[in-house]
Amino acid sequence: MSPTRTVTPYAGLNGRRYLVTGATSGIGQAVALALREQHAEVVALGRNPEALTALEAAGCTTCALELTDTEALEQAIFDHGPFDGLVNSAGITHVEPALTLPADAIDQVFHTNARAAAMAARGVARGMIEANKGGSIVNVSSQASLVGLDDHLAYSASKAAMDAITRSLCLEWGAHNIRVNSVNPTVTLTPMAQKVWSAPEKRDPMLAAIPLNRFAELADVVEPILFLLSDGAGMISGVCLPIDGGYTAR
């Protein structure tokens, strides 16, 4: 459940309070644990009871909820806030050719990846503004928002919407000293991704398109997120940062 290497200490995280969505797996889980290593307070949202229990053992406060339930999400933010930062890591995908993609699949992906992220950001920002404290929001987007990928219409469009949310909120909330950024990773080797991308016929063409010729490890994504949350990124806002080994440079 930990990042694949020890993360660097980042200025200003110690003692601050962060909300992490999608914290029971993958990038969100790794971010929650890395923030605890930085001695930050973490409220972890997710749906997997066993993973939430493990996060509690690591010192996180946990909350089980369905992120698309806006009322429950707003209540959780109110109950556990105010926060110094938010990492919107929850996300789902639906891979299918556009000619057969069901409308309800598009709705489900957008509700989690874009709408829920916007509502989480709204709730956290309200608390920041009321407390007059500012803060940092990081949205976990994807390289799929920056380039076209076969069979990824719903996912790519939802992540492009997340990047648009990032830019809009950067403009609206900058006056309140709230910074909003996205990170846009390539394939990241979570346990699920390792299974999905293990087949050579799928893995090899993607690796050939990445100039660094490797997929991202969890720590490759976690460390930029921690940096964007930290005081060291105090003048960075509105950025959609590819973490893709050069994939989108082509």
The pair of three-digit structure tokens given for residue 211, joined into one six-digit string: 């100039």
d(CA 29, CA 218): 10
Sheet of 61-64, strands arranged across: 61-64, 41-46, 17-21, 85-88, 135-140, 178-185, 240-243
Q: Which of 10, 18, 133, 155 is catalytic?
A: 155
User: Considering only CA atoms, which of 172, 174, 170 is closest in space to residue 240?
Assistant: 170
User: Considering only CA atoms, which of 163, 155, 165 is closest in space to residue 106?
Assistant: 155
d(CA 24, CA 9): 23
Residue environment code for 103-114, b if the CB has 16+ CB neighbours within 10 A, otherwise e: eebbebbbbbbb
Task: Report H helices in 111-152.
Answer: 116-131
155 is catalytic: yes
Contacts of 85 (CB under 8 A, 6+ apart): 16, 17, 18, 19, 124, 135, 136, 137, 138, 229
Strands 178-185 and 135-140: parallel
Q: Which of 159, 195, 202, 247 is catalytic?
A: 159
d(CA 188, CA 217): 6
Sign of the CA dihedral 164, 165, 167, 171?
positive
As annotated, the active-site residues are 155, 159
